[in-house]
Amino acid sequence: MKKILILILLLLTAIVAMAYFYFSALNADKKNSDGSLYAISQHAALVLCFQNDKSITDILGDQPILQQVLGSDKYNELKSIGNMLIQSQAAVQAVDKQNIYIGLIPEKKNLTFLYVTQINSESNLTQVISELGGKINVTLEKDRYKLNLSDTLTCYLTLRENLLFLSPSSAVLNQALSRTLEKDNPFGAYIRSTSRISKNSLAEVHINFNQLPAVLKSTMPGNLSGELAVLNHMDAYTSLIYNYSAEKLLLNGSTQVNGRDSYYALYRHVPQKVTITNILPENTANYIVYTILQYGRWREELNKWLTGTSKGKTALDLTAQISEKYHLDLEQTFPRYFTNQLITFQLSTSEKLGAIALSNGEKLGQLLLDLSAEHSDDIRIFKESDLLFSFFGEPFRNFRRPYYTIVDNYLIFANYASTVQVFLNNYRNNRLLINRPNYLAAINQLPNSSSIMFYSDLDNSSRIILRNIYLPYFKHLRQESMKDFNAFIWQMSGENGKYQTNVLMTKKAPADSLSQNSLALTP
């Protein structure tokens, strides 16, 4: 899950920044255009929509933060397309009073964009092309027009019924035109039901997690395995509204988990205050924290989830087997002394750890003596595999027989004893993330209660990101789009079966930005 959100970070911020630059010159009032909505939702994992209103495009265009996210090269490229469009009054009138939809499309080791909007019935595409042809090189290729904006920038434009399609990739256009327009696809219906585009909403971002694996595979080598494997079956949608700010990138909205068999559906409860993050080392690269309202009721749902997984069936039998083997009632261990928070986190060195909050760590430690063996004075190792997975599920799947320690009513564990020792050294010397001003400045901008929250320190995560995405994307992140940002947060809070969702990226203080940029590409 951590790697998933690190990669979404790149994709999400890039598509948000597209809003103004492609259609900056098109200014009009909103008009429903369900045809273009359903067309884009059939193809894209991430969809951006914004209202074609001058008051909105002016605000977006005045935000330097968008240029920082996008990078100077792409910014100038997109601005060229915007300038091209305003050279045709017929083009401006053709999409007058329509919404603009921009979709992120995978293409081998590349990501490209598809732009769809609905044109007015009285508009004439031939006139649009004629006007553009007087300014740029326009050629007709079968069922589309090739627009040569410069020696290195080419776009393709075509019309299907009353829908206008535009993309820098002819192959993407082929793909879009080859599919039958279905007005009942679930993602399109979701966007239609959640969209609130108005003059009070600058732009919206919609994410289809069912199609996201194909997008991620274009940015990284190999298949979605390990922590990323969950994305292969993650049936969920997210809808976010972009908020104006010169100092941060902030989106608010909601997430809908469609599959009842999803592990993340277990957290659709009232959010709880997060405090377990106070123990994290200062070199924490990322973490994901979960809160539980009432463990007993939550455990019943967890057991239902476990019965639906092959490994889960074994985990359900594990507690009975261990109880018989050690003559110990396991229900008197974690179920009795766990409070309401669990976390997995990763250090800048890639070491992975987990932790749970306890009501009485000393009592639990005594009960676990028979289930564990001593490694050192402070560290022990579980004798049996999958114990933590059987009580808490997916986050602890890869901690099969970990080493652990208990300090200040927290049980902290890792797959290597040296990793636990690193944690103890940091904790005892007060080298903690909570002491870093940048971290506090970021985390204090969101509510301190949540059901699930992901955090990434963008500097501490550099080496991890480098190992998980292709080098060109990494260079773009560190040299351009992310160089002035220090944190990324994805927060979800359960409410009425859905999740209220906040996505935040915060900027570094000027001094921090200067000191870190020289190390931006250190592998």
Whether 13 and 110 map to the same domain: the answer is yes
Cβ atoms within 10 Å of 435's Cβ, excluding its own: 11
Whether 30 and 125 map to the same domain: the answer is yes
In the structure, how many helices (H) and strands (E) does the chain have?
21, 22
If one compares 127 and 303, the residue with the highest pLDDT of the two is 303
- 438 falls within a domain: no
> Which residue range forms the structural domain that includes residue 306?
272-433
If one compares 83 and 171, the residue with the highest pLDDT of the two is 171
Closest C-alpha among 468, 466, 446 to residue 521:
466
Whether 178 and 48 map to the same domain: the answer is yes
84 is written with which tokens?
């091209």
Whether 215 and 353 map to the same domain: the answer is no
Whether 295 and 383 map to the same domain: the answer is yes
- The structural domain count of the chain equals 2
Structural domain ending residue among the three candidates 257, 292, 324: 257
Whether 219 and 286 map to the same domain: the answer is no
What is the reported pTM? 0.84
- Tell me, what's the pLDDT at 473? 59
Whether 22 and 65 map to the same domain: the answer is yes
DSSP-assigned letter for residue 505: E
Closest C-alpha among 224, 206, 227, 208 to residue 216:
224
Cβ atoms within 10 Å of 375's Cβ, excluding its own: 15
Residue appearing with tokens 């434009």: 157
- Tell me, what's the pLDDT at 80? 67
Confidence of residue 523 (pLDDT cuts 50, 70, 90): very low
27-77 confidence digits (pLDDT tens):
333 344 478 888 898 888 889 887 665 555 555 555 555 555 555 655 666
- 167 falls within a domain: yes
Whether 105 and 169 map to the same domain: the answer is yes
Structural domain ending residue among the three candidates 257, 288, 309: 257
- 461 falls within a domain: no
Whether 220 and 292 map to the same domain: the answer is no
Whether 310 and 351 map to the same domain: the answer is yes
Whether 300 and 343 map to the same domain: the answer is yes
- 478 falls within a domain: no
Task: Find how far residue 229's CA is from the centre of its chain.
Answer: 15
- 155 falls within a domain: yes
Give the chain's mean pLDDT.
80
DSSP string, 100-127: EEEEEEEETTEEEEEEEEEPPTT--HHH
- Tell me, what's the pLDDT at 51? 67
- 456 falls within a domain: no
CA distances from 210 to 40, 178, 234 (A): 15, 21, 6
250 is written with which tokens?
């902030």
- Tell me, what's the pLDDT at 30? 36
Residue 521 has pLDDT above 50, yes or no: no
Residue appearing with tokens 């009632």: 329
Q: With beta carbons less than 8 A apart as the criterion, state whether 343 and 360 touch.
A: no
State the pairing for strand pair 236-243/410-414.
unpaired
User: What is the maximum span of the chain, computed from C-alpha positions, in angstroms?
Assistant: 86
418-476 confidence digits (pLDDT tens):
999 999 999 999 999 999 999 999 999 999 999 999 999 988 887 777 666 656 656 66
